Structure formats: C-alpha cells, structure tokens
Structure 1
Amino acid sequence: MSAYAVGLLKEVRFGPDIVKYLERIDETMRPYRGRFLVHGQGPEVLEGSLQQDLVIIEFPDIEHARDWYQSPAYQEILPLRARNASSVIFLLDGLPEGHLATDILR
C-alpha cells in the first residue's frame, strides 16, 4: 500500500541553498522509489485557510518513506531546506483500493 511524505512549506527563501536542495533531492528518492505527486503548488482552498505550499511524495510503502527520510543522502541535504523555509513534514499511509468512508466505523 502506498505511503506519502507530505510537506507544508511557507516563507521559502529561494537562494543557493534551496537550488542545491532541489538539484539533489530527486537522487535521494530514487533508491526508495519515491516520486513527486505534488511539488510546490499552492492548493485551491475551498474551506478554511492554508498559507503553505504543498509537497506530496509517493513511496511504495511507509518503510520506504521512512528509510528515505532517514537516509544519509537525504539527511545531508535536509538542512538546506530547513534553514530556508518554515515547514511541517510528515509521513502517512495510503488506503487500500476500494476503501469506503464507512470503513473507519469498524
């Protein structure tokens, strides 16, 4: 079952550090079969407010997502982003195909 690394980023300061981060992140995801689903787009907010840009990276499962985030390659570039953006980053499992809203009532 797929899992996702989600980032909510605001106040991103585009400078040399962010450029280096962007130039290197794809290579850190490759061994863990990660791929961008959403990358930096501001969502069309229908209810409430959201001031952050959204990043969603898909992985085959939560273990691949964790291993990528904790990998030496990603940990090496993480400070480039962390110093230049206010971020909330989290991992979450996806749902099996055929999931219904009422499944959470069980």
Structure 2
Amino acid sequence: MTAYMILTREQPVRDEAEMAEYARKNRENAPVLGKTMVPLAVYGRIEALEGGAPDGVVILKFETLDAARAWYDSPEYQDALPHRLRGADYRAIIVEGL
C-alpha cells in the first residue's frame, strides 16, 4: 500500500549553513535515495485552511510504509539528517495511503 512521508518545517530556518549541508548531502545521495521515493510537494506555496500554517512542507511518495521507513533509516539519509535537525525544527510523519 502506498505511503507518504510528510515533513513540515515548524519555524523559519535558524541555521542556513546546516540546511545547505543537508541539501548538499541529499543531492549527493540522490542516485541512491531517489530510487525509492517520488517527491510530490517540496516547499510550494501554502494556504492554511484550519490552524496555523507551517513554514514549509515536503511530501514524498513511497511504494509502502516499510519502503518509507527504510529510506528514512538508510545510512545515506541518516548522514544528512543531523544537519536538518540543527538547521530547523521539523515534524516528520509517515502515513499509509488508500
């Protein structure tokens, strides 16, 4: 069953250099990381209908919840992740589709 990873940046970026390093590492690892996911939304315009809007949203599509978890837990992504965590506050969830 299809699964979606949703990452919301809760506040503006606090460390641009860390976010740049996170982006660099993800680009560097794109041949490995990009094989199992399809980006559906990456920091597009946001219109909040209920509650406050996050500062940014990323939605990634995976074949299964297990594939999404494997992507997140992969050595390549785990190498980049500390930079994102230092650069900004995010919420990350995986949800199964229909």
With the length of structure 2 as denominator, give the TM-score of the two structures: 0.83
Could you list the structure 1 runs, at least 4 aligned residues long, displaced by more than 6 angstroms after superposition: none
Across the aligned residues of Structure 1 and Structure 2, the Cα RMSD in angstroms comes to 1.7
Structure 1: tracts of 5 or more residues without a match: 96-106
- Residue 41 of structure 1 is matched in structure 2 by 44
Which protein has the larger Cα radius of gyration, Structure 1 or Structure 2? Answer: 1
Q: In the TM superposition, what are the counterparts of 1:67-86 in structure 2 within 5 Å?
A: 67-86=70-89
With the length of structure 1 as denominator, give the TM-score of the two structures: 0.77
Q: In the TM superposition, what are the counterparts of 1:77-96 in structure 2 within 5 Å?
A: 77-95=80-98
How many correspondences in the alignment?
A: 94
Q: Check the 8 A contact 1:6/1:57 in 2, yes or no.
A: yes
Structure 2: tracts of 5 or more residues without a match: none
CA shift at 1:42, angstroms? 4.2
Could you say what secondary structure the match of 1:81 adopts?
Answer: helix
- Residue 62 of structure 1 is matched in structure 2 by 65
Q: Check the 8 A contact 1:29/1:35 in 2, yes or no.
A: no
Could you say what secondary structure the match of 1:41 adopts?
Answer: coil
Structure with the bigger RCO (C-alpha within 8 Å, sep 6+) is 2
Q: Identity of paired residues, percent?
A: 31
